[in-house]
Structure 1
Amino acid sequence: RRGRIEASLLVAESNHPTGNGKTLARKIRALYLYYRTYGFLPLETCGGKQKNRSYLDNEDVFKACRAWLLAQKLATVTPKGFRYALNTQIMPRLLASAKTSKKSLLGKTTATYKWLNRLGFHATTEKKGVYVDGHEREDVIEYRQKEFLPQMAYFQSLTTNYEEDANKVLQPITPILSPGEKEHVLYYHDESCFHAKDYSTRIWLDENQQKMPSKSKGGLIHCSDFISLEGRLSIGQKDARKIIYPGGPQKIPYWDTEALLKQMDEAIDIFEEKHPNKVAVFIFDQSSAHASKGSGALNAFAMNLGEGG
């Protein structure tokens, strides 16, 4: 049987083989005595929230910083700019001592990041994506709730849907139609643009090989197509998809309303051949080409402001 000192040294040396473990051994014996006296170990006091308070705990400072950040132009806030404004503009207006203090209230970059995070600002990478605006306007909400969603629900009730069976295989569920109703097929239209040199940035090369990056993205490729739950709108050799290569040496015109209407004529013919005795529902997103006026239509934006031709 080992004594307390010898046992504590043995445990300490096993956890810290490079040192003598005397300090840790004393700590182990102290914890043992505490546990034997009170029946539990003492609460850990290391780490946790520091006792000193931050200037951001002051509501006036917090609001002043937020107001300055929100007043800046979108995507122009930087830690350096915020730190400079804080030390020279924001805090001197709020704290009289800041006017005579030679030391900056916020000097380290790490501290600036923490302040920005507490103020609701976070660093992010700018990426291409979908711009969303106006979806929560009162008129848009009213149209969506009273017209668009009920109409889409009605169309969905007339379409074939799919559910997975026990083998994870999609099985069609045909709609229950009333007398006089026809099955509907929903086709969603979409357009995408690519460049000829849009390729993966990860390539495999020999140690003696080197590929020089191209300065050009390559020619533009525009694709317009229709897709449904059953796939793309095509049958046999007939395909509703249109691919063009606008610009370039041949000066091919860009995709416009006239080209879309021509594609629609062909898409309807293909649909009637692929889905006889069914109703097509073509769904488009909101774009300038889809909302353009017909040929010869009056347009206030194209009229002169004053009198004359």
Structure 2
Amino acid sequence: MPPKSKRSLQLKVARRHRHKRAKTQECSSTMNESISEDVTEEHIIDTTLELSSIANPDDMSENETTEVIPVSTEGVVPVTGNHGATTEEIIPTFSDYDSQDDEEYTSPGETATEDELIHGHAKDWISSLDRDDVMSLSLVLHHLIVNILGLQLTFAAKVIGDLIGKSDRTVREWRGTFLCNDGSFPGSLQGKYQRTGVLEQNEELNKHARKYVRENANVKGRPNMTTASFCQWVNNELLPNSVLEPGFPRKISVDTARRWLHHLDFQVLDRKKSVYIDGHEREDVVAYRKKFIRKMVSIGFINEDNAPTAEASQCLPEDLRCPSEEQLQKTIVLFHDESIFSANEDQGTQWGEKDNFAIKPKSKGSGIMVSDFIDEFNGYLCLSDSEYSLAKQTYGDNITKEARQFLEYGENREGYWTSDKFLTQMDHAVKIADIKYPKDQGYRVVWVFDNSSCHNAYAEDALNANNMNAKPGGKQPHLRDTVWNGRPQRMVFNIGIPKGLIQVLTERGKYHKSMKLEDMRKEISTHPDFMNEMTKLEHFLRDRGHICIMLPKFHCELNPIERCWGQAKRYTRSFTNYTLPRLRINIPNGLDSVTLENIKNYFRKVRQYMFAYLEGFTAGPDLEKTVKAYKKVYKSHRKIGVNS
């Protein structure tokens, strides 16, 4: 016999459904003719109350009797919920119910009938039940209405839904669920489903997506990354070039891309000052950061005694882990930085009427640059009155009481900050340090600077490849003589003309005819004499017996004076009147608002970052979480023996 076609099977099933539906409607119409059409929600409540009195005979007085109507129980399935409650336990009883004032169910000027009061109490009682009990009660009422009163299923569901505050569709779904689960209700899964995203399942996708956002979110000369551009990159490059398990999506929508970005801890932010991430983790910067932290360990700035945790102390280099007590006590580390305070800078927020904001100045206005030094033990670098008297006897008028210097920058004011002006300030600062921390008492002073152009300025005759031309002569400086492979080498011909890169590399045997100017500069920059050339600042401090250390590039979090600037600017912005004379008054007051205790806390914060880098963390959320965890360890007075 040939197999039946799919269309014939569909027609056969449709005929069966029509026959069944016609038979059901015929039976329902027959039953409805013998039943009063006035059956409403109140009739259901009356039936529920009668069942309540039967289920709780103890609540009736001795003189009360109840006529029990015999009801056939043939085919009735006992109802149980997840909590094991039987029908008798969930039938409403009002003897133990906290009665409320009848006025609650009536409007002003109206008198509530007995049926209205009972109706209101029944709804309140049902609202106090939990989900499983309400489902069981709805099934009991459904059985009473359909099998005893003979109403249609849909009408019964609507009446019950109005009573319990649910839709008729929900009541029908409960009944179907009960019949499909062998006479029980399954537990609710609300709040129990753990959504697992695609990025959580695949660490490689997570890693590549995070790297892409960090490198492309904001690139100079290109539009900022958007959710749509990120989505396009995922669909065109990330997913096609990744090994994905079955079930992984091959394309995502813009909404999904937005959820991915939130999952990666990225969000849309306003521009504000923060750590410069783009160059923060460059290979050369990370390599120098390791050298810098090793230097700070060697001078005793970070050690086992000031480690935030025992695990962090184990990351210290073994050969530098235990400096001497004298070395710890006699080493003074001075951090330096410059900052600009502007007259038109304010708090940035204000109270005002909606859509009626005060107009702010378009520019920052006139400004004052401040250059200063701090150490952990005395705060800002300055002399006391007695120390200043001693310094006057030694240096005369060539020394100031404090190392701080102000500059009202601008062409029509005091000009701009240059390396020569900075070295003039350094001359006063070194004299102050020699008076305050004398070498004959065992002190050694270490100066720490960032990588600004003033600090990295070279002398005119310094070995700097960027100042050299390819050919002899021209507008290039006369560089000083040097030593190459143990033999002296002059950088200028006997007639006084600079040799240039071609001649110098030829004498060193490193020149090739195919080399261009950039290639020659890159080659000679790798030679030891050019690599180890010191800046004017380093020469200045070495000649005076002091130590100079440069911070890693883009690492402002390792300079404690940066936080002093932030605290001082909070003061100046709170008391500004947008004029330069007021700014001259506010800046010293703002700097003085930074106490010695604040400075010590800022030094502690810098050490926390250094230890976090020693533990292998890089810039990002993990680094900040680690530093915050260090802070909790410091603040807790109950953690005894953490550093032991």
User: Which interval holds the TM-score relative to the shorter structure?
Assistant: 0.5 to 0.7
The TM-score normalised by the length of structure 2 is 0.33
Question: 1:1-309 to 2 correspondence within 5 Å?
Answer: 1=56, 4-7=90-93, 10-14=124-128, 20-21=163-164, 43-49=187-193, 66=209, 69=212, 73-75=216-218, 76-84=224-232, 89=236, 106-107=252-253, 109-118=254-263, 120=264, 122-125=266-269, 126-131=271-276, 132-133=280-281, 134-137=284-287, 141=290, 144-145=293-294, 147-153=295-301, 177=326, 183-203=330-350, 211-228=358-375, 229-235=377-383, 236=385, 238-250=401-413, 252-275=414-437, 278=441, 279-287=443-451, 288-309=453-474
Give per-residue Cα distances to partners, 1:44-63, cap 9 Å, x unaligned.
Answer: 32355489x9877997x959
Q: CA deviation at 1:212?
A: 1.8
Q: Return the structure number with greater helix share.
A: 2
Alpha-carbon distance between aligned partners in 2 of 1:93 and 1:182, rounded to the nearest angstrom: 60
Residue 296 of structure 1 aligns to which amino acid in structure 2? D
Q: Return the structure number with greater strand share.
A: 1
Cα distance change, pair 7–264 in 1 and its aligned pair in 2 (3 A): farther
Residue 459 of structure 2 aligns to which amino acid in structure 1? G
SS in structure 2 of the partner of residue 129 of structure 1: coil
Alpha-carbon distance between aligned partners in 2 of 1:186 and 1:150, rounded to the nearest angstrom: 12
Alpha-carbon distance between aligned partners in 1 of 2:447 and 2:326, rounded to the nearest angstrom: 22
Alpha-carbon distance between aligned partners in 1 of 2:346 and 2:268, rounded to the nearest angstrom: 24
Q: CA deviation at 1:216?
A: 0.9
Cα distance change, pair 67–198 in 1 and its aligned pair in 2 (3 A): closer
Alpha-carbon distance between aligned partners in 1 of 2:192 and 2:304, rounded to the nearest angstrom: 55
The answer on whether the counterparts of 2:261 and 2:267 sit within 8 Å (CA) in structure 1 is: no
Alpha-carbon distance between aligned partners in 1 of 2:200 and 2:331, rounded to the nearest angstrom: 60
Alpha-carbon distance between aligned partners in 2 of 1:233 and 1:248, rounded to the nearest angstrom: 29
Alpha-carbon distance between aligned partners in 2 of 1:234 and 1:143, rounded to the nearest angstrom: 27
Residue 13 of structure 1 aligns to which amino acid in structure 2? S
Alpha-carbon distance between aligned partners in 2 of 1:192 and 1:280, rounded to the nearest angstrom: 27
Q: CA deviation at 1:285?
A: 2.4
Unaligned runs of 5+ in 2: 1-55, 60-87, 95-121, 131-161, 179-184, 219-223, 242-249, 307-323, 386-399, 475-644
The answer on whether the counterparts of 2:297 and 2:303 sit within 8 Å (CA) in structure 1 is: no
Q: Which has the higher contact order (CA 8 A, sep 6+)?
A: 2
Larger Rg: 2
Cα distance change, pair 47–150 in 1 and its aligned pair in 2 (3 A): same
SS in structure 2 of the partner of residue 262 of structure 1: helix
Q: CA deviation at 1:232?
A: 1.0
Q: Which residue of 2 aligns with 1:38?
A: none
Alpha-carbon distance between aligned partners in 2 of 1:223 and 1:67, rounded to the nearest angstrom: 38
Residue 12 of structure 1 aligns to which amino acid in structure 2? I
Q: CA deviation at 1:123?
A: 1.9
Give per-residue Cα distances to partners, 1:182-201, cap 9 Å, x unaligned.
Answer: 94433221221222211112
Cα distance change, pair 82–176 in 1 and its aligned pair in 2 (3 A): closer
The answer on whether the counterparts of 1:191 and 1:222 sit within 8 Å (CA) in structure 2 is: yes
Give per-residue Cα distances to partners, 1:23-67, cap 9 Å, x unaligned.
Answer: 59x99xx9xxx9xxxxxx96432355489x9877997x959x849
The answer on whether the counterparts of 2:331 and 2:446 sit within 8 Å (CA) in structure 1 is: no
Q: CA deviation at 1:82?
A: 3.3
The answer on whether the counterparts of 1:12 and 1:22 sit within 8 Å (CA) in structure 2 is: no
SS in structure 2 of the partner of residue 152 of structure 1: coil
SS in structure 2 of the partner of residue 239 of structure 1: coil
Give per-residue Cα distances to partners, 1:67-124, cap 9 Å, x unaligned.
Answer: 995697443431122345666x469969xxxxxxxxx9645x5433123345x36224
Give per-residue Cα distances to partners, 1:242-286, cap 9 Å, x unaligned.
Answer: 011222423x33222212221122123333444455535142223
SS in structure 2 of the partner of residue 283 of structure 1: strand
Cα distance change, pair 203–82 in 1 and its aligned pair in 2 (3 A): closer
SS in structure 1 of the partner of residue 92 of structure 2: helix
Alpha-carbon distance between aligned partners in 1 of 2:349 and 2:213, rounded to the nearest angstrom: 39
Alpha-carbon distance between aligned partners in 2 of 1:272 and 1:215, rounded to the nearest angstrom: 45
Residue 454 of structure 2 aligns to which amino acid in structure 1? A
SS in structure 2 of the partner of residue 238 of structure 1: coil
Cα distance change, pair 92–22 in 1 and its aligned pair in 2 (3 A): closer
The answer on whether the counterparts of 1:198 and 1:217 sit within 8 Å (CA) in structure 2 is: yes
Cα distance change, pair 154–294 in 1 and its aligned pair in 2 (3 A): farther
Cα distance change, pair 6–23 in 1 and its aligned pair in 2 (3 A): farther
Supply the RMSD in Å over aligned alpha carbons.
5.0
Percent identical among aligned pairs is 23
Cα distance change, pair 210–242 in 1 and its aligned pair in 2 (3 A): same
The answer on whether the counterparts of 2:337 and 2:450 sit within 8 Å (CA) in structure 1 is: no
Alpha-carbon distance between aligned partners in 1 of 2:423 and 2:215, rounded to the nearest angstrom: 44
SS in structure 2 of the partner of residue 266 of structure 1: helix
Cα distance change, pair 91–156 in 1 and its aligned pair in 2 (3 A): closer
